[in-house]
Structure 1
């Protein structure tokens, strides 16, 4: 981890904080690399049950840092692949993710927020697909995420006009999940992420993957994937734990541990 990306763990929740407030958390090559490493680590750390992505200093992220010095010998396509790696890792992370947005979320920064499963913003938050103003087209997954979340026409409007919208409009378009007063967002996200972290980790990972992949599947394909996911879920200790907790009128304690039923006497 570098000073530009802070990481902290509380109760199964890992919080990654973009920490370049002097640049409104614009992401330079070093920070892209740090994000890639942090997301890879989180994907393989069983102690991580939920992930929060946020920014320091009153902004979420103003996008890629176009002023950052880099390796001039690298082809631009190679540089964009750094963004692509982060977008894929965030999308495929097997735990629920929450974007906590205060201030600006612009360009690739907004698309990082959209790549999270849930987005919490303050009324002061502002969002823009700024690319057209820079002579560019969307990256970091924006061309895939926007139509799926807001519909094709609204996606075209946001990308072609590069308008800035506020949090309430973003929420009305399905691009923000909750708008919470600034003084309450820390507590709201802490409670939300804590509840996600207490959920059944394997089942939540299966659910996230099913929903992410559903748009490209037929109903029959989705049903087949659901059946496979349920088979995975029933092989954990969480399903019987849920039944026991219900019968005993208590909260379940989910662990995600592998659980195999002992062979019955009827097993040949």
Structure 2
């Protein structure tokens, strides 16, 4: 079905694997189209309640495949047609999106990781805002997500100096949620994804929606957002199930509805 990625479902979790290992999973035009299609599929499939994005081979994603960018290429066009819709689709998906960073995440590959809701990193993972090394500016959302995760000063340092950040440093800086051994990596990601996939998906989606809105909102707006979200969540099947399970002293069985 796909040429540059693979897409599969494991239980209630969809897995997208960037699959150009010989190119360190660098993006080309075909991968942009296929990622858009796969993210859309995961979003509209009601049986999918969490999404994992990872890479094949020794890298997560090395960013844009510059060898396939023609001389004089309009990078703004590549961003507007390729990266930006993908980033918006991840952020707009009201399901948890987990980035399983198995190796280097460089350039737009780092941007893709930052756009996800959770990042689990292998000990072999590393991050690098590589743009400065070819005279470019971080893109695909990096200038939005990076300072929100690590603060303005550290974001300036990482973006301007372009130093490689190893997995332990990434955890220390707040770039990743969890750091695991290479041996346990896949099992840990699967366990974490399944946990999220069995939680109240509608509530998670609302939390994601309004946390994102909170950055550009004042307190009064956020208070109203919370009231709106709580009305929707309060009318959900999962809320009723959670209440019943609490009263009956049993484990809830959420359906994401």
TM-score in terms of structure 2 length: 0.96
Residue 7 of structure 1: aligned partner: 7
1:155 aligns with 2:155: yes
Supply the distance in 2 between the matched residues of 1:10 and 1:161 (Cα, whole angstroms): 40
Q: What count of residue pairs does the alignment treat as equivalent?
A: 256
Q: CA deviation at 1:45?
A: 1.5
Q: CA deviation at 1:85?
A: 0.7
Greater alpha carbon shift after TM alignment, 38-47 vs 137-146 = 38-47
Supply the distance in 1 between the matched residues of 2:250 and 2:50 (Cα, whole angstroms): 23
Note if contact 2:199-2:256 (Cα within 8 Å) is conserved in structure 1: no
Report SS of the residue matched to 2:62. Answer: coil
Matches within 5 A, 1:204-215: 204-215=204-215
Residue 75 of structure 2: aligned partner: 76
Matches within 5 A, 1:1-268: 1-68=1-68, 75-81=74-80, 82-257=82-257
Where structure 2 has 5 or more consecutive residues not aligned to the other structure, the ranges are none
Supply the distance in 1 between the matched residues of 2:100 and 2:75 (Cα, whole angstroms): 30
Supply the distance in 2 between the matched residues of 1:255 and 1:52 (Cα, whole angstroms): 19
Where structure 1 has 5 or more consecutive residues not aligned to the other structure, the ranges are 258-268
Supply the distance in 1 between the matched residues of 2:28 and 2:90 (Cα, whole angstroms): 18
Q: CA deviation at 1:116?
A: 0.8
Report SS of the residue matched to 2:191. Answer: helix
Q: 1:122 to 1:198 in 2, by over 3 A?
A: same
Q: CA deviation at 1:73?
A: 9.6
Supply the distance in 2 between the matched residues of 1:11 and 1:234 (Cα, whole angstroms): 27
Give 1 or 2 for the bigger CA radius of gyration: 1
Report SS of the residue matched to 1:216. Answer: coil
TM-score in terms of structure 1 length: 0.92
Supply the distance in 2 between the matched residues of 1:76 and 1:173 (Cα, whole angstroms): 29
Supply the distance in 1 between the matched residues of 2:59 and 2:256 (Cα, whole angstroms): 35
Q: CA deviation at 1:219?
A: 1.3
